[in-house]
Structure 1
Amino acid sequence: MTHSLKHLSKLISSSLLILMLLGVPNLHGKQPTASSFTPYAEASINSRHLVPGEQTYLSVRLHGAEIDNRPLTPVIPDTAVNFVRSVSYIDSQRQIRTSFLFRLTPIKPGKYTIPRIALRSGAVTYQTPTLPFTVYPTEHLTPLDSGIGKHQILAGWFAGKKTLYEGERCPVTLKIYVPQQLPVATNGWGLPDPEKKNCLAWRFSLPDTRNNTQVTIDGISYLASSFDTTLSGITPGKADFGPAPIRIVVRRSILDPLRGSILVNFPIELSIPSIEFTILPLPDGAPKSFRGAIGRFTLASYCSQTELSEDEPTEIILRIQGRGNLEAVKAPELAQPTWKIIDSSKVTRGEERRLIQGTLTYRQLLRPRRADNGSLPSTIPPHTLSYFDPDRASYHTLRTAPIPVSITPTAGNMLNQATNNKRAEKLGTPPEEMRGILSFIDRPRHPSTAAGLMRHWQLIPAGLLTILLLIPAWKRIRAHRIQHPDTITKQQALADLASTNTRSEFFRLAGHFVERWRPSPTEMTQPNATAPSEKQIQHILEQRDQLCFLPSPSTTDDISQEEKHAVIKHLKAFSKLSIMLLSLTIALSSQLIASESKARDAWKSGKYQQAITIYQDLYPDPNNTPADVLFNIGNCHHRLNHPGQACLAWRRALIASPRHQAARQNLRYVELEKQSIVPQYRPWQFYLTAMNPSSYITITHASLWLAALSLASLFALRSRIKIKTLCITLLVITPVSAALGFFATRAYPDDRRFAQPEQQALVLQDTHLYRQAHRVETQPRQLPTASLLRVEARRGPWLHVSLADGTSGWVQSKDAEALLPKI
């Protein structure tokens, strides 16, 4: 009973996860109604490969409608089928639905088929598809020595098929049966790491040990754990998957001299023999629209707005469902060019990308085109999708039904209106949730010349620290300095003299100073004496007598006109120079704004290549181009369906301004879409990009400077209580802020740790990574668009590069471009 509940919880969780992932929000924020797509019935089992006596669970559900009553229990030969329970869940239309769970227990080996199950909703009855599953004899399992007594571990490969077409995906399951007498430790399951020859495969999923099944084989009870993946062949020929080493840690009882019988962890190293596949070439006769889709699919379309004006876009949702290489399926194409595709984006899928069966959704923004005779289309033409069905070994083409629309003519062709009406993503949206890139920047910002002056900001705290360190020394010098008693009186008299503005009062104080501290004749006759001559002293006294003791003295002196005119002349010359500099700056800014306005108009009218040309003429050197301009160039390339060039421009924008969130957001969106090989960071690290890395360095240095200044102030100004309190507070805070700044600097998602910008290059289009510098290799590695490379060496038209995942090889130089080009 306990194992049944564990199986049940696993199937419920998987079912709810798949259902929630299949529900896709509408681009305009509206959810399709239940009638947008035809309801359909679905059935699934959690394992199609079993041994006699092993249990599996069948889930039956109806998408888009509610089931009236519990379906009848299906009848399967040599298999016990029991109803377990019903489970409520929320479907993609945010409606509460019900699924029904059945437990299957086959008895004999053989191939079985779960028949169609009728699900009734109102007056309509829906049928689930048939589901095959296979029960293998226990001889299919390979016994492996555990190294503990006579206990053996059983393992077996279970593949959907062993003959594949190139590019076809096939589910592969590795099952390992461990005797219950060897309990597996918590987190004791390792992941198989098989060798791959002429094939590609996802990494195995880790089994959920809470849902292990109990099976009795030859009188021995085993716990079975499943590792699932999907595999595809690369080129025609043979493909080997394995051997697969795996490490399992079990709990073993030993006798300890002090504690008696205890349980200890005991590692078991296993090697699962390889499984062989045959890869067939795709047959001839593929239609022109075939672009690598292999499997069996259905195609449905939905348009939310069928009444629109000529200058207004509409959105169409294309949903591809089925079984096959869904991640490799390209967007369906319009059968007729009567509409222009402004934007086409694939809804990013998460872990369900690993599944061979599921749903893929594309969103397209369309604008009507006038025919040669000036007429507007009355329908959205069908979308087509060509695929190869490996089960029937034939090509097929799907076509959606035309969608009638009503278009109101308007004067002129206003593509700029259509582009602006497109839903714009918001800055800060997680790239995994984005449906398109961020919009164009109308007014690009330019780097400020004052920013360069801030690089020398540390001279300010250095000067303050020097002054504070000199204060104690100066106090010590003053304390040991012996001054004459008259020195202070003389200094005060001279200060009073300097602060006097009245001519008569000035000379009165000067005369008093002379009479009080008049040097002796002996001092005035010294060779190097600095005292004034007797004649100068007499002149001061005469001026004092004339201004202070004669009647009607002249008390002020007026400034001369010549001096005044000279000052005014200098001010006028400076004013003329300022006006000339201001006029030159305004003229350059006006020219810049006019060019950027032309680029903005080209963007709004859909002339993206023209906008790129305008920007490149304005900024011929990409290394000295503002970040906002590079961001706009990237957006133009994205609209032209040049994702590699778009990511290159956005990466250059991040080099120019590391805190450019819009460029980072668009870049991450395309990298997820293309599955690019780039350095990986944790989600919380991207929050650090709200500031430049230099800002965190500045915080660290400023905190250290404040700590040093506070410590110096404690010794220099120890008698002032308020300053002492402030310094102690800063000594507590600054080490914390310095540590936080240092941590943020180290954790900042900076690709310079992978390679310096001078060494970085970007893959412009899907290409291959070769072991040697030639193209005769039969099994090159696929290299996705926008993957980041570190250029190690050059050899003619080849580049030797390293990838963020640690691999290295050769790529053709025409398929990659340096981030910092040499102009």
Structure 2
Amino acid sequence: MQYLRSILCVCLIATSALAQNVKWQSAGTGDSADLQLVYEDCKPTADPQLPAISGARLTFRGRSEQTSVINFSVSRTVIYSYRLQIGKATAVSIPSFKVSTDKGELTVPAYNTATVQPGPEADIRASLNTNRPSVWAGEVFPLTYGFDVARRSFSNFGGEINWDSAPLITEEWGKYQAGETKRDGETRLLVAFRNRAYAPTAGSYQLNPVNQLLNLSLGTVGFRLFQQQRVEQITISTDPVALEVRPLPTAPAGGFSGAVGEFKLTSKVVPEKAAVGEPITWTLELSGQGNWPEIAGLPARSVSRDFQVITPEAKQTPEEGKLFDASLFEDVVLVPTKPGTYTLGAVEFTYFDPKSGSYKTARTPAKSITVDAVSASALGNVTAPPASTDAPVDPASPITAPEAPTDPQGIPRDPISGSDEVCTPFASTSQLIGYASLPFAAVLLTWLLLSARRAAQTDPRKPQRAAKQRLSQTLSKLDHASDSERELLLISWQHDTAKLWSLDHAAPAAEALNDPEWTTVWIEAEQALYSSKRDLPSDWSARAKAALTAKKVSDTAWLRTFLPRNLLPLLAIMLSVALSPNTQAEPSEDYRQGEFKNAAKAWQSTVDANPTDWIARHNLSLALAQQERWGEAAAQATAAFVQNPSDDANRWNLALAYQNAGYTPTAIAPLLESQPLADLAQLASPAKWEWLIIVSAIGIVVALIVLLLVGYNLAPRWVKWVALLIILIDAILIGAAVSGRSAYGIAADPQVALVWQDSTLFSIPTEVESTQQTTALSAGSMGTMDNTFLGWTRLTFPNGQTGWVRKDDLVKIWK
């Protein structure tokens, strides 16, 4: 009996063990790429860690649970759904692996699929570029992740970028930039994300692939009323990228703290003359771009024992949204206890410059401070030292006056108030009324014209008329289109048909057209695009043209001109001007109160609206300089200077901005030299020189007419001397104007733009294509704009070189 019970237990255990298993199986969709990982009579305690598959990738689709009862036997299963992504058609072998379940660790047997066909992801190219094969340890370098996908199939992003950046320290990925290109006759969407990174230690690394989920639109499913868009989610992944991180050269003895990048060290002592017991603030600030997470603090400073030292904690302030652009400052408060002249020693900060491949030292000069005897305000706080009785004072000794201080420099001045030019008042009230009455007729006429224009622009039938015109052109092209062109033309025909019928859906059902003829040609177009039958009926084009001709769209109703919504914009503008308070001084108030960001934002809005307002440009430069944004400040100061070079404040701010930005534009450098031509050019802007040429030419013409009148005895003969003098003066003015205008060179071109920071010149407007030729573009370069594309601008330089630059790296001088 005992023997039978043992056999029964063994059988039960074996049966239980056989029931609990995990295996792969087909999802039953008819597609070998759809797989399921099935847990039978057990539950996973953790998500399965799938094995690596050569040439393929498993994308998780979802999880479900099922419970079934058969012959009073309960069976429970947990199903993980996956899809195989593969580059070329082949069978896939999934090796065995182990999973954790509530019944212990189980082994998933190996599984071989039938031939798997490539999915839509095979047509997408993703890449991760470092733009350079090797970098220095700690060097901040740009990273670009991007992909190109057929525009017709891309729907939206399925999730955030998934990337293990180790061993790099990186910023967050920025907002994506999109562009377009053509490949095999198809429009491709180019998407790029940018950020920056550095590697803390040297070595040879393989950067991990970047993964991202995308939603692709793959036509429609269903028929007629039950049609809906088919969206499939896929995972794209970049190839691993090799990166060589070079070790830094041997550091000089003492002082190197591991900083790599470009840094600036400044020192400021306030006040430089004080009395015993009065506090002196010694500010040390380190700013720049580099591996800030590795920078522990500022260099140590040494001071005389005659000072009480209060050292607060140093403060690091990164730029908004940036990890590698920051400033670190520390205020040391010194309280002198003895009078005398003291020297605050020079401070040095050693860092490695990756551009030059060498160590550099940022150094602040030594500063002298004078401490006088105890002041009256400090008598209650500091005990003055006893007077010395060893050296009697000679009453006959001469008294030497201290040197006169020089005017301070190096801080941006106050913004300029007011406007550029004013008009002379009228001589009398009656004259003012007379002149003011004349424009009203023109205002009324302009009002009616603008109202009529607005009526045409806001006509609800305008999109339908435009769609009908495009449909006529598309149908004409279809008569002679090749097979490859026909697909794009049919898609364009569908989009414009939806607009003609005022349907919001991009791919509506055929019944929505509400016309038998349109419904028939729509269904035939759908079949030609998405079914196995790819040919259109021979009379399709003729029937489509007949249906288009029969579809009537009303013309513009010009009586809409007198509708209130078309007449009211002018009234709204007049009321806003009359009722809105004068906010002209608000940016200046923000500036004086230290709200430099708010002031810069307000002046930037003014510049965007009126790019030739040189005062707004000048004030914007001051606000940017106060934020240590010297590159942009120099560019705006350049624009203000070119637009009004004769203003002293403009020239002073320009010199200060160039000194701190570290660049001087090539076209502006000759104007800053002490030469007669430069002095002449600075008397007026290029535009004013051009107007002088025109006015002088008119003067010469008038003088020549006077000489003709004298020759025909229609004017006194003495007038000819006045005319000849006018010709001589105007000829001199024209020569001076031509010389002054030419001195500006490319800066006088209305399309000129200035590169305000070191950048890269690209052959095509994208960073995704790694095979294109690029070259470095230095800050201060100037070129003329001849084309734009999304966030890119094409520049032509004086030497004939052309290329694309990011719009954010440019400041337009005139536009």
TM-score between both structures, scaled by the size of structure 1 = 0.32
Asked which structure has the greater CA Rg, the reply is 1
